Structure 1
């Protein structure tokens, strides 16, 4: 099960999309009993909206909660839960259980939410990040949390474990370069040992004692020292070039003056 998360500000626009036929009738589907549906249907909620096919029946509830904190931007949180292609088609009751568990594990017990199904393999859970008392659900690391919850739901409902992407923050350019320098320094430390091992005749390894392996802390310390030496050498080279440029005589010819005789 994969969770795709988005945030928005207009609950009415999201409701109109979920209950409509879609841009290319992609919201027309057949459920587990073979019944055809066109547009979304609420199959679970905590505001008594089950069975509704009109967003006007539940959107005002989300708006009422949003109005308690109008300064909060993107106060509508939406997650699309999708099964893998090899999973069975879940019934509305099964999807309702999945949505209920997902909402509770994500921390939406006191926030108005609805689960709209408009496809055979997925549902949309729409939540107001602001509850009726003005409390805000901030949802830090919500994508990582949603993946963890999906894994729990897969095990609980006997669904196939879906492949997942990494959700950690991307490294900055400085972090990437630091990692590259450390790897280069580590490879420099290992290169002489590898060359020495290759130059030994066969059978010599058994006669000579094996070197003591470094601990992880010792390796990290050696890498830091090697990186520091490289940076110091580069800095010294820069200072030397700067001092050299300052001590060189100025040989630029000046206008109006010829060479001395």
Structure 2
């Protein structure tokens, strides 16, 4: 059951529409089923000619507005259509009346026993829905508050679902992206678009956020995508950016102006403060020189191979060298990028730099020590003598920072699969121990799906990222605390955009990454089920189905040998009460071996919590 709050100015026109035939003759037997008085008292009388007389009803509803006068709302008519699902049974008038009264009570507009509450009616002219109409003025001359009324309506709808056994719908937990309006959809069809602009912009902004490490990089990626970008500045501090909006160049209003969408109008986690939270998250310490700049999220080397790290370091060092004019500017730029720096000083002239080496936080060699790479090991034009000649006015040909070899691209894709596997293990562990600790990895999984879709250009990956979208966000707009698993996924997402598409000779790496992503989303679904977030778990299932369509990958597992038990199964051994009927092994494609291919089926439920701690 769903309800949508609408606001209007004139109650007379709305009442006549509800009692009329409708736009397509869909209204049948309109009648009042509930209201601030008994339905028999409020029902319009029939005139001599057969028409309905609405004068008494109009007067009763508008009288409090006239008493409130200039203190009334600009749109004082509160209109709420409430609709049941097509598969739900047809409710009686008494059941709809109970639902309407509960909604008015939960919103605070007409609490039980309050004789001075707003005046309202509930009109039914179809089997599957009613319309609640109220005028926002109390009879005691007070203007009622309607703050967050949509969330109270959602609570009332879910209560009716539980009470009457109706189809269970999602709670209003602010994890859903903003829906496309009917006008936007019809405009897209008229203009020959396959998708509404809001959907296209949301996907582009999410991909740019996944590939950016700073606010400047984020806006640069949006402009490189061909989007129009408008920054909102503070009225008190003109040099401070407080928000942004994006638009498609060919999406215009009737007056020829771009149709702008703010980040919050696309999704709850795409506002500028939420994006800044992901870029300013604390990372590993970057060396004795101090932490990197506050607006930069360093790349961790935790899940990177030496080839991938060399590609990242070469790209970062070359970009810093192109922007710098002196050695000091060069080292400052590397430091702000979060790189570890080690300078080689002359033994003849103390203080003179004769060379340098760089590394990434958590990038360790086989001996367990930091892995340092000199400029000469990165590229011939990045040796210290070549850089000095460039800064002294020598000739220099700029290179494309994103030029990578086939081996480096393969290494980046393999490292992304390794980061996904590490996150999968941590999510399974947290599902048993502390589900809230896995929120960061669930959020970051959306980034790697978006980046993989953009890097490969695969439509199934793009649909998987779209399907997973709601499963990524924490309820009520919360930003989870950063974790190594989440940071590893975000690093992999940025590197996938750097690597781009791979050649056919190394295309098998895409299949390896896809398998790891299937296991990742399959591991997230039981986590949501354990917290009774069925819609998010369903989103994970849809994303997994889209991923399995890539190359017709089977849903049986690939990498786990028969007979190997899942770590969460071993962790739960000996517990007095099993934590759920869902086997975490069965929840992921890695663990569905041939010995038990039917251990999880649609409809498996988490058992109700007992008196013991619900893990």
Tell me the alpha carbon deviations over residues 73-102 of structure 1, each in whole angstroms, 9 at most, x when there is no partner.
Answer: 211111111001110001111111111222
Compared with structure 1, are the counterparts of its residues 178 and 185 closer, same or farther at alpha carbon in structure 2 (3 Å cutoff)?
farther
Tell me the alpha carbon deviations over residues 82-135 of structure 1, each in whole angstroms, 9 at most, x when there is no partner.
Answer: 001110001111111111222122212211110000111000011111011111
1:136, CA displacement in angstroms? 1.3
Partner-residue secondary structure (3-state), 1:134? coil
- Matches for 1:155-234 after TM superposition, within 5 Å: 155-163=162-170, 167=174, 170=265, 173-182=271-280, 191-195=300-304
How far apart in 2 are the matches of 1:189 and 1:82? Answer: 49
Tell me the alpha carbon deviations over residues 27-54 of structure 1, each in whole angstroms, 9 at most, x when there is no partner.
Answer: 13xxxxxxxx2xx211111133447254
Compared with structure 1, are the counterparts of its residues 218 and 58 closer, same or farther at alpha carbon in structure 2 (3 Å cutoff)?
closer
How far apart in 2 are the matches of 1:68 and 1:111? Answer: 12
Structure 1 partner of 2:58: 59
Is the 2:158–2:171 contact (alpha carbons within 8 Å) kept by the matching residues of 1?
no
Tell me the alpha carbon deviations over residues 199-235 of structure 1, each in whole angstroms, 9 at most, x when there is no partner.
Answer: 759xxxxxxxxxxxxx987869xx9xxxxxxxxxxxx
Residue 222 of structure 2 corresponds to residue 113 of structure 1: no
Compared with structure 1, are the counterparts of its residues 86 and 16 closer, same or farther at alpha carbon in structure 2 (3 Å cutoff)?
same
How far apart in 1 are the matches of 2:174 and 2:27? Answer: 29
Structure 1 partner of 2:95: 94
How far apart in 2 are the matches of 1:17 and 1:218? Answer: 52
Structure 2 partner of 1:19: 19
1:181, CA displacement in angstroms? 2.2
Is the 1:2–1:164 contact (alpha carbons within 8 Å) kept by the matching residues of 2?
no
How far apart in 1 are the matches of 2:481 and 2:21? Answer: 60
Structure 2 partner of 1:233: none
Partner-residue secondary structure (3-state), 1:160? coil
Structure 1 partner of 2:133: 126
Is the 1:75–1:129 contact (alpha carbons within 8 Å) kept by the matching residues of 2?
yes
How far apart in 2 are the matches of 1:7 and 1:86? Answer: 29
Q: Which has the higher contact order (CA 8 A, sep 6+)?
A: 1
Q: 1:45 aligns with which of 31, 35, 38?
A: 35
Is the 1:49–1:58 contact (alpha carbons within 8 Å) kept by the matching residues of 2?
no
How far apart in 2 are the matches of 1:25 and 1:183? Answer: 57
Q: Which has the greater radius of gyration?
A: 1
Is the 1:9–1:75 contact (alpha carbons within 8 Å) kept by the matching residues of 2?
yes
Compared with structure 1, are the counterparts of its residues 218 and 118 closer, same or farther at alpha carbon in structure 2 (3 Å cutoff)?
closer
Structure 2 partner of 1:3: 3
Is the 1:65–1:134 contact (alpha carbons within 8 Å) kept by the matching residues of 2?
yes
1:192, CA displacement in angstroms? 1.1
How far apart in 1 are the matches of 2:107 and 2:481? Answer: 38
Compared with structure 1, are the counterparts of its residues 218 and 173 closer, same or farther at alpha carbon in structure 2 (3 Å cutoff)?
closer
Compared with structure 1, are the counterparts of its residues 200 and 129 closer, same or farther at alpha carbon in structure 2 (3 Å cutoff)?
farther
Compared with structure 1, are the counterparts of its residues 199 and 119 closer, same or farther at alpha carbon in structure 2 (3 Å cutoff)?
farther
Structure 2 partner of 1:255: none
Compared with structure 1, are the counterparts of its residues 90 and 199 closer, same or farther at alpha carbon in structure 2 (3 Å cutoff)?
farther
How far apart in 1 are the matches of 2:163 and 2:79? Answer: 22
Is the 1:65–1:130 contact (alpha carbons within 8 Å) kept by the matching residues of 2?
yes
Structure 1 unaligned runs (5+)? 29-36, 202-214, 224-261
1:183, CA displacement in angstroms? 6.8
How far apart in 2 are the matches of 1:56 and 1:166? Answer: 41
Tell me the alpha carbon deviations over residues 226-250 of structure 1, each in whole angstroms, 9 at most, x when there is no partner.
Answer: xxxxxxxxxxxxxxxxxxxxxxxxx
Compared with structure 1, are the counterparts of its residues 94 and 218 closer, same or farther at alpha carbon in structure 2 (3 Å cutoff)?
closer
Is the 2:81–2:131 contact (alpha carbons within 8 Å) kept by the matching residues of 1?
yes
Is the 2:280–2:297 contact (alpha carbons within 8 Å) kept by the matching residues of 1?
no
Structure 2 unaligned runs (5+)? 45-51, 111-116, 176-263, 285-295, 306-362, 368-436, 438-479, 488-615
The count of corresponding residues between Structure 1 and Structure 2 is 198
